Structure 1
Amino acid sequence: MTSITRLFDFPYYQQEKFNSIPDALVSKQNGVWVKTSTQEYIAKANTISRALLKMDIQKNDKIAVISTNNRTEWHIMDIGILQTGAQNVPIYPTISEDDYEYILNHCGATYCFVSDAEVLRKVNLIKHKVPNLKEVFSFDTIEGCKNWNELLTLGEDQSNQDQVEDRKNNVTTEDLATIIYTSGTTGRPKGVMLSHKNIVSNVLNSATRIPFSPGETRSLSFLPICHIFERMILYLYQYYGVSVYFGESIEKISDNLKEIKPNVITAVPRLLEKVYDKIYAKGAELTGIKRALFFWAIDLGLRYEPYGANGAWYEFQLKIARKLIFSKWKEGLGGNLDLMVSGSAALQSRLSRVFAAAEIPVMEGYGLTETSPVISVNDMRNKGFKVGTVGKVIDGVEVKIAEDGEILCKGPNVMMGYYKDEEKTAEAIQNGYFHTGDIGEFDKEGFLKITDRKKEMFKTSGGKYIAPQIIENTMKQSRFIEQIMVIGDGQKMPAAFIQPNFDFVKEWASLHKIDIGTTNEEMVSNTKVIERIQEEVNELNEKFGNWEKIKRFELTPDAWSIEGGHLTPTLKLKRKIVMEMYKKLFDKIYN
């Protein structure tokens, strides 16, 4: 059996263990799901490797891959690149042209592969400013652009396969595999250097926590592959012989779930919030006994504790709720979904409870790009799941809490460093421990709990510490609040910028026959809307100490987005930029 020490060993291991899975990688093309077997995956990856060698790719060359959606071609390119000893540099498709230019120059990319016309347009705008870049290829057929199929043709001749084998044999587990540029909430992106060992160790040490049936599980993949979370999970799928179906787009996920009927998906909290809100909205439209049953089941779900902790009577009621109500939730998500893995940001406890009650448990984990990424993760089995925590630390990784509460991590998953930045590397890794920038604690059973980002905590002028993420997560439980940013560093009280959930505000206004106007600007200045959101804030404020309560807020007319600059590609708040955008609202609150 192939020993897995480098990333390109995964497909070979899959082929040996599962005798070539017919639907190892599946993408939709022209309305049809096109399957690629493990055998074809490996054959095409080798074809790409042979072509790259004919194009004079050297060990440690950098090849950028920018894809709007996850697709089979990405993985074939990934293995094809890595086998030559070169590095795959994935880039977020939604970043600005300036960031494209910076990253392509910073890593010194010699070739760039893009998914579609829109990404190509952005790259073409800055290509003349990237002297190292020899050529751009696309996965889609685009007039005037070289296509990746040219490499499949160039590599058909197998006479240099021996060279490919030599290159593979000369790649060690300690070698650099990829540079991932973090989206960063401030300043220029940092290039995180991850070795084969970093990611391979993380896959193997996380594998025991994920309850897959090897060779019998189907997944739907739609989170950005350029992020290490989804990428590491996809190597994990290969290790377990999981069939991977690539979602067409975020907008079509609902359709894809029904078509594919996956057993597992990965998600970020924002997406799970939207799924729950959609289910809740449908329930709110019900009448009579159906409506009463729906909200009875929700109330039951919100009190859920694992492993029968609520007692026999609760479990009996839960059995009925699952049969009458929660089974329909599951059906709406394809019918077979029995596991969701969540990362990237803190998950609201209510979502963790209600989805577990519905027998679609969310295994919340924790990690960073710099830790490849998993540090800890929940596991439903063996009492390894606890609501409100990110689980127990995985094997092979050591975590300690510094005096100031910061989480420090040590292990084979910790990055090699930041590319071309020794100073930032030295700041981040001290005495072998990576400083995560997150504040957390262990409970007495060894579960890790994240309380906030070290850099995001602030003090009011009264000397009280405020942890904004906890307050923001609580406030977003209101269906009226889509996004919120807590402010008040050095001020006498905490306040907030709030982006209302405009769709829900319209529904509420229509139901109560209130004229709130038609534009976002009219809605956020409407006194009835402001008063209603104030009620929500007042109610949720009760969960906090007096010094933490949101005393004032201002509504923003913009829908916060990646494109608008409010959010990073992983949907985290760009606090500094949001603060600059709403400087006038800040002054209105505090002056």
Structure 2
Amino acid sequence: MAVTRLFDLIPQQIAKYPKQDALATKENGTWISYSSVRVQEIIDKVSIGFIKSGLQKDDKVAIISPNRPEWNFIDLGLQQIGAVSVPIYPTLTVEDYRYIFDDAEVKMVFVYDEQLFAKATEAVNGSRTNPVIYTLQDVNGAKSWKDITALADGQPASMLDPYKANVFNDDLLTLIYTSGTTGKPKGVMLTHNNILSNVLAAIPLMPVNHNHKALSFLPLCHVYERMLCYLYLSQGVSIYYAESTDTVGENLKEVQPHMFVTVPRLLEKVYDKIVAKGAELTGIKKFLFYWALELGLKYDMQKNQGFFYNIQLKLANKIIFSKWREALGGNVITVVSGGAALQPRLARVFWAAQIPVMEGYGLTETSPVIAVNRFNPDETRISTVGPLLPGVEVKIAEDGEILTRGPHIMKGYYKRPDLTAEAIDSEGWFHTGDIGQFVENKYLKITDRKKEMFKTSGGKYIAPQLVENKFKESRYIEQIMVIGEGEKFPSAIVVPSFADVKSWCEIKGIPYTTNEEMVCNAQVIEKFQKEFDEMNENFAQYERVKKFILMPRPFTIESGEMTPTLKLKRKIIMQNCQGQIEKMYAR
């Protein structure tokens, strides 16, 4: 059957790859599965319930929930009647909720639990639109999503046929509000065709089939995870939802997935945990761990490093890296990474450990994928985001900005024709705001954000991401932000990789106390200075980071220093560190 709208994927799955575990979630310690047929039955009930509730085509409905099957039921149920989903990050503020409810003119809101119900209720109380709130969990005094499905009792699914027939490929599917690092959220309008074009182009690149399982833990309100989940549905891959990001390690071992999608920050945490465990080893085991790690960090898929290296790596895979694969469940074929730059050292070591990481690039406005490294090592270049997705055009503007055109480009920003005209030019090119170049005329490399480049007092332009990405190759640096607008030289705010710092302290016989004390320890500071001196050799004199601040805690979403998509909020971080920055430049 032809798939022209995303809700067509479930009937296609039933016809081609009927599953007993199309979707699965963990409730009270037990995994609960939904078959393909059951998923369609529930979606139909949701759609009929929406119709009975008076919801009409193009009406907007917000979803505020962690990943779980009900998220899909509401999303696909809305699609079948032509209504529009407005996914919202649970971590956003009440003010952001209220702004989105009002801007999108939301008619209904679906929240997960009592906490989110209270937050949404507070937002609705001050909003102009006054949407009805439903909960996915049973909450006292709240309407339940089951109230919607109950309205469908006794109604045949065939009553949906005319509604489905009235939904077209270029109809608005979803409004995704991008939080951005500054300003009010903007509603990105994506159609069925936008996301479906991305799904269909990505299918041949993904080494998965209907016998496979995927673990999903990035938020479904992020178009990146959502697009991949549609791809899983299209190929009959079973989707298991992790309980939370804190339980990913445990859920990987339980589910034993064949793939998962991640952001570099989470991959860094996996790596840090592995290294921390390695540091706890003693004797020959510890020696072998670090021997394997060093081999992995030297890995280069484009270069044959000779018989001796290859035989060592084979041995390392057997005795050390096999345990890494077991920690990911033992079945992982590939990991897809996006949302930010992946440290090249991480890419090297995971590929060396036979865990291929497909790093890609895209934006909410591009549905999302523009380019991605392939599963085939011959079509992968570490430090790049890979070749373009089939059907996607890219050109580099005179100032280095990446422009893209194709079926993946959004319809525009909701109610903001002015911003739409700024972003999409008269020839249909979307201006990404990212600076980049092609390597070997094929592999796209992102070097910076256009708006984040700054000028020193000497008149030299600095591309901070370029410098940051290089410095993050150090195992001792977890997060880094390069600053220096209007100053004589660039400097950096650094969050150490505390697990690696602790390991280094043990080797050097330095007692490790608290993170707060260690970032002030003279020997630790001297160690970081050596790391900086080594990394600075890669840059011109004016680009070199002369001074740095070591932070005792990571930047987080909760602290307001990162967006929900884990990008640094530079302005907020600089405000929070203003006193330290002033002292650094005063010295």
Quote the offset at 1:517 in angstroms.
Answer: 5.9
Task: Name the SS of the counterpart of 1:305 in structure 2.
Answer: coil
Q: Counterpart of 2:172?
A: 176
1:462 paired to 2:469: no
Deviation digits for residues 59-80 of structure 1, max 9, x if unmatched? 100000001x210110011110
2:280 alignment partner AA: E
Quote the offset at 1:251 in angstroms.
Answer: 0.7
Task: Name the SS of the counterpart of 2:31 in structure 1.
Answer: strand
1:45 paired to 2:49: no
Quote the offset at 1:240 in angstroms.
Answer: 0.8
1:208 paired to 2:207: no
Quote the offset at 1:287 in angstroms.
Answer: 2.8
1:444 paired to 2:440: yes
Structural mapping, 1:345-360, within 5 Å: 345-360=340-355
Quote the offset at 1:316 in angstroms.
Answer: 2.6
Task: Name the SS of the counterpart of 1:563 in structure 2.
Answer: coil
Q: 1:488 to 1:312 in 2, by over 3 A?
A: same
Quote the offset at 1:455 in angstroms.
Answer: 1.1
Q: Match for 2:385 among 352, 369, 390?
A: 390
Question: C-alpha separation between the residues in 2 aligned to 1:271 and 1:302?
Answer: 19
Query: Is 472-481 or 186-195 further displaced after alignment?
Result: 472-481
2:130 alignment partner AA: L
Quote the offset at 1:285 in angstroms.
Answer: 2.6
- Whether contact under 8 Å (1:562, 1:568) holds in the other structure is yes
Q: Counterpart of 2:11?
A: 12
Structure 1 spans left out of the alignment, 5+ residues? none
Q: Counterpart of 2:69?
A: 72
Deviation digits for residues 538-558 of structure 1, max 9, x if unmatched? 333333332222111223345
Task: Name the SS of the counterpart of 1:119 in structure 2.
Answer: helix
2:86 alignment partner AA: V
Deviation digits for residues 107-151 of structure 1, max 9, x if unmatched? 011100011122112112221122323311111111111111122
Task: Name the SS of the counterpart of 1:569 in structure 2.
Answer: coil
Q: Counterpart of 2:364?
A: 369
1:335 alignment partner AA: G
1:85 alignment partner AA: G
- Whether contact under 8 Å (2:402, 2:432) holds in the other structure is yes
Question: C-alpha separation between the residues in 2 aligned to 1:542 and 1:48?
Answer: 60
Q: Counterpart of 1:409?
A: 404
Task: Name the SS of the counterpart of 1:207 in structure 2.
Answer: helix
1:427 paired to 2:422: yes
Question: C-alpha separation between the residues in 2 aligned to 1:418 and 1:313?
Answer: 56
Q: Match for 1:152 among 149, 153, 162?
A: 149
Deviation digits for residues 272-323 of structure 1, max 9, x if unmatched? 1111122122222323332222222222212222266334443333222211
Q: 1:524 to 1:345 in 2, by over 3 A?
A: same
Question: C-alpha separation between the residues in 2 aligned to 1:510 and 1:314?
Answer: 29
Q: 1:575 to 1:287 in 2, by over 3 A?
A: same
Deviation digits for residues 39-74 of structure 1, max 9, x if unmatched? 00011000000000000001100000001x210110
TM-score by length of 2: 0.96
- Whether contact under 8 Å (2:91, 2:564) holds in the other structure is yes
Question: C-alpha separation between the residues in 2 aligned to 1:463 and 1:480?
Answer: 31
2:164 alignment partner AA: K
Q: How many residues align?
A: 585
RMSD of aligned alpha carbons: 1.9
Question: C-alpha separation between the residues in 2 aligned to 1:460 and 1:129?
Answer: 44
Q: Match for 2:291 among 296, 306, 317?
A: 296
Deviation digits for residues 164-200 of structure 1, max 9, x if unmatched? 2111111111110000011201111111000111000
Quote the offset at 1:382 in angstroms.
Answer: 7.6
Question: C-alpha separation between the residues in 1 aligned to 2:563 and 2:526?
Answer: 31
Q: Counterpart of 1:551?
A: 546
Structure 2 spans left out of the alignment, 5+ residues? none
Task: Name the SS of the counterpart of 1:366 in structure 2.
Answer: strand
Task: Name the SS of the counterpart of 2:583 in structure 1.
Answer: helix
Question: C-alpha separation between the residues in 1 aligned to 2:532 and 2:504?
Answer: 17
Between the two proteins, what is the percent identity of the paired residues?
A: 51
Q: 1:36 to 1:102 in 2, by over 3 A?
A: same
Q: 1:395 to 1:511 in 2, by over 3 A?
A: closer
Question: C-alpha separation between the residues in 2 aligned to 1:346 and 1:519?
Answer: 26
Question: C-alpha separation between the residues in 1 aligned to 2:429 and 2:48?
Answer: 40
Task: Name the SS of the counterpart of 1:158 in structure 2.
Answer: coil
Question: C-alpha separation between the residues in 2 aligned to 1:334 and 1:255?
Answer: 9
Q: Counterpart of 1:334?
A: 329
Task: Name the SS of the counterpart of 2:318 in structure 1.
Answer: helix
Question: C-alpha separation between the residues in 2 aligned to 1:315 and 1:505?
Answer: 30
Deviation digits for residues 511-568 of structure 1, max 9, x if unmatched? 7665676473x44444444334333333333333322221112233453210111000
- Whether contact under 8 Å (1:516, 1:529) holds in the other structure is no
1:277 paired to 2:275: no
Question: C-alpha separation between the residues in 2 aligned to 1:316 and 1:307?
Answer: 17
TM-score by length of 1: 0.95
Quote the offset at 1:465 in angstroms.
Answer: 2.5
- Whether contact under 8 Å (1:209, 1:377) holds in the other structure is no
2:4 alignment partner AA: T
Q: Counterpart of 1:126?
A: 123
Task: Name the SS of the counterpart of 1:298 in structure 2.
Answer: helix
1:6 alignment partner AA: R
Task: Name the SS of the counterpart of 2:330 in structure 1.
Answer: coil
Question: C-alpha separation between the residues in 1 aligned to 2:390 and 2:216?
Answer: 25
Q: Counterpart of 2:140?
A: 143
Deviation digits for residues 478-509 of structure 1, max 9, x if unmatched? 44433221101121100112233456556655
1:574 paired to 2:569: yes
